[in-house]
Amino acid sequence: MPAPHTLSFDDHCASVPGARFTDWLAQRAEPFWSEATDHVFTHAIGDGTMPDEAYARYLIEDYTFITDLASTLGYLVAKAPDMQAKSRLSAFLALLTSEENDYFLRSFDALGVPRETYTQAAQGPVTRSFADLLLTSSGGGTYPEGLTCLLCAEWCYLTWGEREAEKPRPAQFYLAEWIDLHAVAGFEDFVNWIRRELDRIGPSLSAEMQERLADLFRQMSALERDFFETAWSGHPPEHPGAG
């Protein structure tokens, strides 16, 4: 029998009756999915052992990415098939450009990062690859392609956020608030909505498109892992997203 990370969705359903399409996507992304969601960087956020310089690197890169994430959501709002989906996506876009932006500014101040550093920073190679994949899938691709990449990005954060939320909060407010931003009920509801949307759409797609979505989710998972590793070590991989 083929390895689980190579099974088609039909074969997966034959071995796991009633399987969710999104669970299949995560399985097909192994080992990258687990390497991202269980990365040492994510544990250091929760237990308060995060070095300031590593978290500053991370926030600077993430800050350069916010505009691209907002554009991704804009593309998906335009391509969403109904008003309910447009409303869900636009509400998350509004949240991203308000509460989360305020968090970045307060955190940079606490970490002693000068304004010109984060406002003038260029994206590193991992961030650029990550943003390019999101933008091309949502802007130039189909609604399911863009939604798959968005799901990987947000579900990864929900996964480690909920895990770290089970621990006492770290003393650093910027770590504690980052956990809370990604373990709050509203964020969980949004990620679960994306999952339900793809669980509804995915099974009816052609086998070729299902494989395309699995490949996108796998690429995104590898880049999530690389994003955390670059912040943690200070050294980006030579080929972002490679196995």
Q: Please write the tens of the pLDDT for every residue from 111-169.
A: 999 999 999 999 999 999 999 999 999 999 999 999 999 999 999 999 999 999 999 99
The predicted pLDDT at position 118 comes to: 95
If one counts every other C-beta atom within 10 angstroms of the C-beta of residue 145, the result is 19
The predicted pLDDT at position 1 comes to: 45
Local confidence band at 174 (pLDDT 50, 70, 90 cut-offs):
very high
Q: Are 35 and 225 in contact (CB under 8 A)?
A: yes
Q: What is the DSSP letter of 8?
A: -
The residue type of 105 is: L
Q: Across the chain, what does the average pLDDT equal?
A: 94
Counting residues of the chain whose pLDDT is more than 90, the rounded percentage is 86
Q: Please write the tens of the pLDDT for every residue from 23-50.
A: 999 999 999 999 999 999 999 999 999 9
Q: How much is the pTM?
A: 0.94
The predicted pLDDT at position 131 comes to: 96
Q: Are 159 and 228 in contact (CB under 8 A)?
A: no
- Give 127-155 as a DSSP string: HHHHHHHHHIIIIIS-HHHHHHHHHHHHH
Domains and CATH numbers, the chain: 21-233 (1.20.910.10)
